[in-house]
Amino acid sequence: MIAADRVGASTRLECRICWYVYDPAEGDEAEQIPPGTPFNALPPHWRCPQCDAGPDQFLPLADGEAGA
């Protein structure tokens, strides 16, 4: 998991494999992750919904940054 000091409750993270952005405000409907779930609170089995990468493949986005 990414260091907690780099990831706040509202930090969006981007998959460095496929550029999917996990947004805590939205959660992950497919995995029944409710909106408001911080990245560091995702269950251990959670994977990128687009490319199946593990959470260790995600990098924090700076405010206003967006993926491809």
Does pLDDT of 1 surpass 80? no
Least Cα distance to 61 among 4, 10, 5 occurs for 10
Its pTM stands at: 0.83
Residue where the block lists tokens 């493949």: 57
Least Cα distance to 40 among 9, 15, 65 occurs for 9
Give pLDDT, residue 7: 83
10-63 per-position pLDDT tens digit: 999 999 999 999 999 999 999 999 999 999 999 999 999 999 999 999 999 986
- What span, in angstroms and rounded, lies between the C-alpha atoms of 47 and 57? 10
Give pLDDT, residue 24: 97
Give the chain's domains with CATH numbers: 17-60 (2.20.28.10)
